[in-house]
């Protein structure tokens, strides 16, 4: 059921953006919003607080993206928040991006790096991912200091984790299992 409603919202967003002819822009804006919600615990807990009225949550989102994102993106985000689905926003956006990439006969590659990557490195990474997965990919970059160092790439259900955080986690599990 969870996958159904995420897929349903994602389809709606994709269809709207495509109908309005602003698919690329809406994709980028939604991706930024999803990253903000995913990385900010405070923002996420505010949006998912059952005690806080919906209009207050929508006011918070309006303050965050109101003047900077397109009205379509703002409307989509407000719809999701208004329906009490803010917690699912990152998943909905990811599903929508995958649909858009699929529409262009490509796969979505979400790449996280501890530090920003230059264009050359992104290009090299894209071709390496295409070679590894056998698909044309669209890379969405996220700078994520929680990785400490290295890169984590996710294409569909495939995760290629070369981060220091993963190694630290592995060491932690080894220590705890003794």
Answer yes or no whether residue 15 interacts with other proteins by CB under 8 A: no
- CA dist 52 and 58 (Å) reads 10
Answer yes or no whether residue 135 interacts with other proteins by CB under 8 A: no
Cβ contact 77:30 at 8 Å: yes
Binder among 31, 129, 154, 155 for other proteins (CB under 8 A): 129
Interacting positions 87-126 with other proteins (CB under 8 A): 113-115, 117, 121, 124-125
Interacting positions 159-178 with other proteins (CB under 8 A): 160, 162, 164, 168, 171-172, 175-176, 178
CA distance readout (Å), 74 to 13, 17, 38, 134:
12, 12, 17, 35
Alpha helix stretches (DSSP H) within 83-163: 89-103, 119-133
Smallest gap from residue 57 Cβ to other proteins (A): 34
Cβ contact 69:33 at 8 Å: yes
Q: What are phi and psi of 152, to 5 degrees?
A: -130, 125
Answer yes or no whether residue 36 interacts with other proteins by CB under 8 A: no
Q: What are phi and psi of 137, to 5 degrees?
A: -120, 155
Smallest gap from residue 140 Cβ to other proteins (A): 17
Smallest gap from residue 171 Cβ to other proteins (A): 6
- CA dist 159 and 39 (Å) reads 19
Binder among 36, 43, 54, 132 for other proteins (CB under 8 A): 132
Answer yes or no whether residue 143 interacts with other proteins by CB under 8 A: no
3-state SS, residue 89:
helix
Answer yes or no whether residue 12 interacts with other proteins by CB under 8 A: no
Residues found near other proteins in the complex (CB under 8 A): 113-115, 117, 121, 124-125, 128-129, 131-132, 148-151, 153, 160, 162, 164, 168, 171-172, 175-176, 178
């Amino acid at each position: 059921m969870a996958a159904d409603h995420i897929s349903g919202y994602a389809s709606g967003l994709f269809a709207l953006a495509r109908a309005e002819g602003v698919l690329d822009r809406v994709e980028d804006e939604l991706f930024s919003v999803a990253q903000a919600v995913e990385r900010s615990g405070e923002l996420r807990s505010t949006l998912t607080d059952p005690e806080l009225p919906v209009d207050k949550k929508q006011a918070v989102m309006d303050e965050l993206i109101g003047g900077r994102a397109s009205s379509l993106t703002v409307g989509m985000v407000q719809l999701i928040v208004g329906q009490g689905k803010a917690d699912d926003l990152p998943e909905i956006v990811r599903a929508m991006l995958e649909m858009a990439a699929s529409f262009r006969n490509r796969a979505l590659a979400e790449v996280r790096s501890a530090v920003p990557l230059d264009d050359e490195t992104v290009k090299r990474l894209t071709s390496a991912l295409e070679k590894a997965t056998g698909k044309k990919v669209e890379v969405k970059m996220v700078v994520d200091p929680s990785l400490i160092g290295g890169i984590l790439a996710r294409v569909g259900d495939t995760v290629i984790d070369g981060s220091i955080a993963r190694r630290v986690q592995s060491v932690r599990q080894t220590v705890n299992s003794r």
